[in-house]
Structure 1
Amino acid sequence: MEEMLTEAACRLGVRGAQVAVLVGGELREAATGIANAELGTPMDARTLMQIGSTTKLHTAVLVMSLVDEGLLDLDEPVVRHLPELRLSDQAATASVTARHLLSMTSGIDNGFYDDPADYLATLSRMEMLFAPGDGYSYSNASTVVSGALVARLTGLSWDEALRRRVFEPLGLRDCTTLWDELPYHRVAVGHAPDGSVVRPWTFSRASGPAGSTLCSTAGDLARFGELFVRGGAGVLSAEACAAMHVPQVSLPTRRFAREWCLGPYRRDFGGTAVFGHSGTNYGGSSTLLWAPSTGVVVGVVCNTPHAGYPLAAEVAAEVLGAAPYDVEPVTRLTADAEPYVGRYAACDLRYEVSAVDGVLTVTLEEVASGRVSPPVALLPLERDRFLPERDLSGGRGWDLAFVVRQGRAVRLVSGGFAARRMA
């Protein structure tokens, strides 16, 4: 496993990485490369790295533990416990539930990448993408609301609840969300595509429940993932663990995931149902996967964010013996482009979709910086789904899809992130 990891990391330009595979209670670990290019620190199996959005699984487990204890009903309005919650739409505020939050069907936009003193107060400034339960869109903001729910119902900070309810019961020694704990561990830093060290360390503490602070090793990530193949492992009831594997919504895209459950996504690896989550932060990238039918758990962490997903894909295919399959484009021409043409908006992005001589194109604008990409052709895959001719997802290879209602697209979904139609 170490030889495979080293070869793949070198080929993909990954500075340092770890892999952990857990089968039948036996954990195998491998590490390669360096933790910090400026210091020349070697990577080992106990070096902590930021895991990014894979943290959302940890937050989902905390929420489900509240359900286990009868403190929370998945289908009651969250505002009953968080009366200060204010979304931009009053009806959405009154109806959004924990089920919506965990399944990415809340309609709450992804959120701003800053560090406000009161994160929940920023939600009223974002237009809803759709009514709760009426679609799918990956949302950091939804998960921060879940973290606030955990804090309110436990009387603890999200960080402390995670330590007491997950880390300690599972015996996880090599993970922390608190920066003042990092000096007591070996810690890796992030690296850019040119190999230089990334600064700053992270973008926010406020987004901790969604993935801005948790650092772990691949080994502890796999040990955490083991609870999903062991019926909750005492952290959750078997019933709550099983409920987390029930698909709640199908995605309009396919290369990000096919279905979303109560926390994890569901994908198909050569006929085997595989669940998991991935994430990227300034300092690292991670993927956690498990196959309940075989009991195999795979954790991959690296400190080169732009190459983390390609590395995890190669490791997963090697360990699981298969990879997700998708059709490939055969033409640049779209038979009827009219339903898709228009302008779409999310809180931090704008999309302009046009058609010239049967070729559909998209232009992407970053709101904060004002940067505008050149037009990128959208190659038809099937129905309302396309593959950008030039990757728009930071090396992830995601597809793009439109949600069409009555012959007209009402939303665009890039990978997992939705944008509403403006015009």
Structure 2
Amino acid sequence: MEEMLTEAARRMGVTGAQVAVLADGELCEAATGVANAELGLPMDPRTLIQIGSTTKLHTAVLAMTLVDDGLLDLDEPVVRHLPELRLSDGAATASVTARHLLSMSSGIDNGHYDDPADYLATLAGMEMLFAPGDGYSYSNASTVVSGALVARLTGASWDEALRRRVFEPLGLRECLTLWEELPYHRVAVGHAPDGSVVRPWTFSRASGPAGSTLCSTAADLARFGELFVRAGAGVLSAEACAAMQVPQVSLPTRRFADSWCLGPYQRDFGGTTVLGHSGTNLGGSSTLLWVPSTGVVVAVVCNSPHAGYPLAVAVAAEVLGARPADVEPVTRLTADAGPYEGRYAACDLRYEVTAVDGVLTVTLEDVASGALSPPVALLPLDEHRFLPEQDLSGGRGWDLAFVVRDGRAVRLVSGGFAARRVV
């Protein structure tokens, strides 16, 4: 497995990586490359790497322990426990539930990548993307609200609750969220495509529950994922573990995931149902996958965020013998572009969709800087779904889709992230 990982990492320009596979109770792990190019620190299986948004699975498991304990009802309004929560729409504030938060169907925008003193207070200034339960959009902000809910109901910080309720029962000693614990471990840093070290190391403490602080090894990430194929492994009841793996909402796109459950995504790998989560931040990238039908668990982590997802797909394809497949575009022409043309907005991006001579294009505007991208052609895949001719997803190869109601798009979804129509 080490030879396979080394070759894949070399081919994709990955500085350092780890893989761990659990099958029939046996753990196989490997590491390759370096943890810090400036220091020449080798990557080994015990080196901690930031796992990014795969942390959302940990937060979801933590929330489900509260369901098991009778402290949380998935379908009651969250505001009953967090009365300070204020969304931009009063009806949404009154109706959003933990089920919405965990299944990415809350309608809360992704949120800003900063570190405010009061994260929840920032939500009132963001327009809702849709009413809770009326669609799908990946949202860091939703998961931060889940973390606040955990803290309120346990009387402990999210960090402490995660350690006591998940890490310790599973015996995970190479998972940590507190930066003051880092000096006691080998720690990797992020690397850019040119191999240089990325600074700063991370961007936010407030976004910890969504993926800005948790570090792990591939081995501990795989051991965490094993709870999903071992009926909760004593951390969750078998019922809660099963409930987490039931699809709640379908995605209009397909190259990110097919559907979202209560924490994990679900994808089709060549006819095999695979669940999991992926994540990327400044210091690293990770993917955790498991196959319910076989019980195999695969964890891949690396310190080259730009290449983390392609590396994980390549490794998973070798281990599982299959990979996600999709139709490919056969034309640049869109028969009827009218339903899609318009402007769409999210908290950090604006999209302008236009058509010229039958070719649909999208231009992106960064809200903070005002910078505009060149127009990118959208190549038709199937109904309301397109593949950008130049990648818009940081090397992930995601597609873009429109949600159409009554013959007119009401929002677009780029990979996992939605934007509402404004014009």
TM-score interval, smaller chain: over 0.9
1:97 maps to what in 2? 97
Structure 2 Cα separation of the partners of residues 254 and 149 of structure 1: 30
Structure 2 Cα separation of the partners of residues 221 and 379 of structure 1: 37
Aligned residues: 423
Structure 2 Cα separation of the partners of residues 388 and 314 of structure 1: 22
2:334 maps to what in 1? 334
1:130 aligns with 2:130: yes
1:393 maps to what in 2? 393
SS at match of 2:48: strand
SS at match of 2:206: coil
2:219 maps to what in 1? 219
2:187 maps to what in 1? 187
1:405 aligns with 2:402: no
Per-residue deviation, residues 314-372 of structure 1 (Å, max 9, x unmatched): 00111111011100000000000010000000000000000000000000111112221
Structure 1 Cα separation of the partners of residues 165 and 320 of structure 2: 30
Structure 2 Cα separation of the partners of residues 365 and 16 of structure 1: 33
1:245 maps to what in 2? 245
**Aligned-residue RMSD, C-alpha:** 0.4
- Matched to 2:291, the amino acid is A
Structure 2 Cα separation of the partners of residues 360 and 422 of structure 1: 18
- Matched to 2:99, the amino acid is R
SS at match of 1:394: coil
Runs of 4+ in 1 over 6 A off after TM superposition: none
Structure 2 Cα separation of the partners of residues 379 and 415 of structure 1: 15
2:291 maps to what in 1? 291
SS at match of 2:129: coil
1:379 maps to what in 2? 379
Structure 2 Cα separation of the partners of residues 333 and 273 of structure 1: 33
Measure how far apart 1:268 and its partner are.
Answer: 0.8
Mapping of 1:169-188 within 5 angstroms? Answer: 169-188=169-188
Structure 2 Cα separation of the partners of residues 261 and 325 of structure 1: 21
- Matched to 2:135, the amino acid is G
SS at match of 2:387: strand
1:66 maps to what in 2? 66
List alignment gaps of at least 5 residues for structure 1.
none
Structure 2 Cα separation of the partners of residues 151 and 273 of structure 1: 33
Structure 2 Cα separation of the partners of residues 43 and 372 of structure 1: 38
Structure 2 Cα separation of the partners of residues 267 and 369 of structure 1: 35
1:52 aligns with 2:52: yes
1:24 maps to what in 2? 24
SS at match of 1:133: coil
1:277 maps to what in 2? 277
Stretch deviating more after TM superposition (368-377 or 8-17): 368-377
1:355 maps to what in 2? 355
List alignment gaps of at least 5 residues for structure 2.
none
1:167 maps to what in 2? 167
Per-residue deviation, residues 262-297 of structure 1 (Å, max 9, x unmatched): 000000112111000000010000000000110000
1:233 aligns with 2:233: yes
1:318 maps to what in 2? 318
Structure 2 Cα separation of the partners of residues 369 and 397 of structure 1: 25
Measure how far apart 1:198 and its partner are.
Answer: 0.2
Per-residue deviation, residues 301-322 of structure 1 (Å, max 9, x unmatched): 0000000000000001111110
2:119 maps to what in 1? 119
SS at match of 1:187: coil
Structure 2 Cα separation of the partners of residues 374 and 228 of structure 1: 43
Structure 2 Cα separation of the partners of residues 240 and 368 of structure 1: 41
Structure 1 Cα separation of the partners of residues 170 and 25 of structure 2: 13
Structure 2 Cα separation of the partners of residues 370 and 191 of structure 1: 27
1:106 maps to what in 2? 106
Q: What is the TM-score with the length of structure 2 in the denominator?
A: 1.00
Identity %: 88
- Matched to 1:374, the amino acid is P
Structure 1 Cα separation of the partners of residues 67 and 161 of structure 2: 15
1:202 maps to what in 2? 202
2:417 maps to what in 1? 417
Per-residue deviation, residues 40-79 of structure 1 (Å, max 9, x unmatched): 0000000000000000000000110100010010000000
Structure 2 Cα separation of the partners of residues 196 and 326 of structure 1: 34
1:43 maps to what in 2? 43
